[in-house]
Amino acid sequence: MRLRLAHLTVTRHVNGPGDRLTLWVQGCGRGCPGCFNPELQDPAGGRLLAPAAVADRAVELLPWDGVTLSGGEPFDQAGALVAFLDRLRAAMPHRFDVVAFTGYLREELEAGPEDWKALLARVDLLVDGPFRADLPPRPPLRGSANQRLLALTPRGEELLTLARRSPMDVLVSLGPSGEVVVSGFPPPELLESLRRRLGRPSSAE
């Protein structure tokens, strides 16, 4: 089993409350018009890595408070992400929470394959629903107003409260291959300006 990964880094107050180990998986077949992360749709992009190797790297990046799964579409690689999270929990000196972004609805995930259900069972706070470019962002953590913030556990309720109280930042950084990575939910004019100036950089929620 391999995980196709685009980026792995620690972000602060961008992809959820606190310092978060953020994974952007590579590959998404949903093809939402106006996708926020079109560079991450290609299922052949990124790097193929063993979930255990990604977990080992995550431990090296400590300290962080929780894990955020973004993409791409995390639930398209649900089995590999379950293996990653289980390996990481076994290696960690303390508990951590999980935030996940998905273009699917929670109801679809609950009725889907067993690996979807297994990954959903490991998520505390879910941001669900397809991105719609015709709808404005809806802070916190939603790229378009149709998306939902769903607390799936008591810790998810705490995360939801923190997210609503704390403003989220936008982070612009360089990826391992020199690509520009935009994390968070920048205003559309900022994202378009960056793409014009830098030749359509990679972007990530």
CB of 172 within 8 A of CB of 203? no
* 189 has a pLDDT exceeding 90: no
The overall average pLDDT reported for the chain is 87
pLDDT, tens digit (0-9, with 9 covering 90-100), for 107-117: 999 999 999 99
Q: What is the pLDDT of residue 195?
A: 60
Which of 57-71, 104-118, 165-179 is predicted least confidently?
A: 165-179
Helix (H) or strand (E) holding 49: strand 47-49
* 154 has a pLDDT exceeding 80: yes
Rounded percentage of the chain residues whose pLDDT exceeds 90: 67
Helix (H) or strand (E) holding 99: strand 97-101
Identify the burial level of 117 via C-beta atoms within 10 angstroms of its C-beta, where 0-12 means exposed, 13-18 middle and 19 or more buried.
Answer: middle
* 193 has a pLDDT exceeding 80: no
User: CA-to-CA distance for 168 and 198, rounded, in angstroms?
Assistant: 24
At the fourth CATH level, the homologous superfamily of domain 3-171 is Aldolase class I (3.20.20.70)
Domain regions of the chain by residue span: 3-171
Q: What is the pLDDT of residue 175?
A: 54
pTM: 0.84
pLDDT band at residue 169 under the 50/70/90 scheme: low
Helix (H) or strand (E) holding 187: none
pLDDT, tens digit (0-9, with 9 covering 90-100), for 38-63: 889 999 999 999 999 999 999 999 99
User: CA-to-CA distance for 104 and 101, rounded, in angstroms?
Assistant: 9
